[in-house]
């Protein structure tokens, strides 16, 4: 190869490498958010009951529950409803609540646990042929989410903090099914606008904490109106107010009240005070309900 062209090729290659590497240094990848949605876990105990049931035999129905989330569950605050039994099994209790205090899971302790005993001697009915059916367990328990973030209070970005950018980080939320998935800021005139996005990241349904679990189970229309709503408390610096609802669903500007799953907007009138970082905490309180099932089969006599 001609020396002149070879040198030109090497110089061009070095320029390309420098451009690529400098671009990689200059581009900061956004943090990938992960949300721990674990809360109250429930599982039918294996072989209690077994899959196949024989008439004239007696079987237990046990369910193990454990609190794997970031909020305590008080004694009696979690209700459990067993359905799908019909007349297929006799001597079965269909409603229980937790008898123990179920502590939250932390780095130094496992969450509280309990075994629910719906029956120790369920009796299958006698049938002339094999009969398949499904039993269902619904939970309904009080829970909460704590979100801790840092926002920037000021009229513009500075070396101290930045108005722009996502304020939710990997560890901002406690472990719970309802999560604050985004907190963002913007300036509008002389006001600082803060928006928090609330999402149901779990597999169940969420209701206001004053909802009645028995009525939810009965599909009461008044309790249905409480679905997809939570109680909220915002702990922010002086001067903030948020657009919420009162107990009658009327609009209010406050730091505590009711809000739907979705976006909450808060604002603060800015002064000429220096730009600074400020804690911004949100506490969500609610009732959460989930469902598990188990397939069973009654064998003919």
DSSP state letter for 247: T
Would the pLDDT of 4 be above 60? no
> Residue 118 corresponds to which tokens in the numbers above?
């719906």
Would the pLDDT of 29 be above 60? no
Q: In sequence order, which residues have a C-beta less than 8 Å from that of residue 295 and are 6 or more positions away?
A: 51, 132, 133, 134
Interval 62-110: pLDDT, tens: 999 999 999 999 999 999 999 999 999 999 999 999 999 999 999 999 9
DSSP state letter for 35: -
State the pTM of this model: 0.86
Residue keyed to tokens 């907190």: 183
Interval 129-175: pLDDT, tens: 999 999 999 999 999 999 999 999 998 888 899 999 999 998 899 99
Q: For residue 161, which of 177, 175, 150 has the smallest C-alpha distance?
A: 150
SS3 call for 12: helix
Cα distance between residue 40 and residue 78, in whole Å: 9
- Report how far Cα 119 is from the mean position of its chain's Cα atoms: 31
List, in order of start, the domains of the chain with CATH numbers.
Answer: 40-141+290-298 (2.60.40.10), 143-288 (no CATH)
Q: What angle do CA 93, 75, 94 make, to 5 degrees?
A: 10
Interval 220-256: pLDDT, tens: 999 999 999 999 999 998 899 999 999 888 999 999 9
According to DSSP, the β-strands at 113-124 and 59-67 are: antiparallel
SS3 call for 37: coil
SS3 call for 205: strand
Cα distance between residue 21 and residue 62, in whole Å: 60
> Residue 65 corresponds to which tokens in the numbers above?
């529950």
| Residue range 265-277: mean pLDDT, rounded | 88
Question: Would you state the pLDDT for residue 27?
Answer: 43
Contact (Cβ atoms closer than 8 angstroms) between residue 119 and residue 61: yes
DSSP state letter for 259: E
Q: What is the mean pLDDT of the chain?
A: 90
Contact (Cβ atoms closer than 8 angstroms) between residue 298 and residue 125: yes
What values do phi and psi take at 14, rounded to 5?
Answer: -65, -40
Cα distance between residue 58 and residue 201, in whole Å: 40
Question: Would you state the pLDDT for residue 33?
Answer: 73
- Could you tell me the pLDDT band of residue 10, with boundaries at 50, 70 and 90? low
Cross-strand pairs, 232: 257, 284
């Amino acid at each position: 190869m001609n020396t002149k062209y070879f040198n030109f090729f090497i110089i061009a290659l070095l320029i390309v490498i420098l451009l690529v590497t400098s671009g990689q240094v200059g581009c900061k990848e956004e943090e990938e958010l992960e949300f721990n949605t674990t809360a109250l876990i429930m599982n039918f105990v294996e072989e209690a009951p077994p899959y196949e049931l024989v008439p004239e035999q007696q079987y237990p129905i046990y369910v193990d529950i454990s609190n794997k989330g970031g909020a305590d569950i008080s004694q009696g605050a979690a209700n459990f409803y067993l359905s799908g039994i019909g007349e297929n099994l006799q001597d079965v209790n269909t409603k229980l609540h937790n008898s123990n205090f179920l502590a939250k899971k932390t780095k130094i302790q496992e969450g509280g646990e309990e075994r629910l005993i719906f029956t120790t001697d369920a009796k299958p009915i006698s049938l002339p042929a094999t009969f398949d059916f499904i039993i269902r367990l619904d939970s309904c328990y009080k829970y909460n989410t704590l979100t801790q973030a840092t926002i920037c209070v000021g009229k513009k970005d500075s070396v101290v903090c930045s108005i722009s950018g996502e304020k939710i980080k990997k560890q901002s939320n406690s472990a719970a099914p309802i999560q604050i998935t985004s907190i963002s800021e913007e300036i509008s005139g002389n006001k600082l606008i803060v928006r928090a996005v609330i999402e149901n990241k779990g597999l169940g349904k969420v209701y206001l904490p004053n909802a009645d679990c028995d009525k939810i189970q009965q599909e009461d229309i008044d309790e249905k109106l409480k679905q997809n709503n939570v109680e909220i408390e915002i702990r922010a610096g002086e001067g903030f107010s948020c657009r919420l609802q009162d107990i009658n669903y009327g609009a209010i500007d406050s730091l505590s009240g009711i809000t739907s799953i979705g976006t909450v907007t808060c604002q603060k009138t800015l002064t000429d005070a220096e730009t600074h970082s400020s804690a911004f905490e949100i506490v969500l309180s609610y009732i959460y309900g989930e469902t598990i099932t188990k397939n069973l089969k009654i064998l003919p006599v």
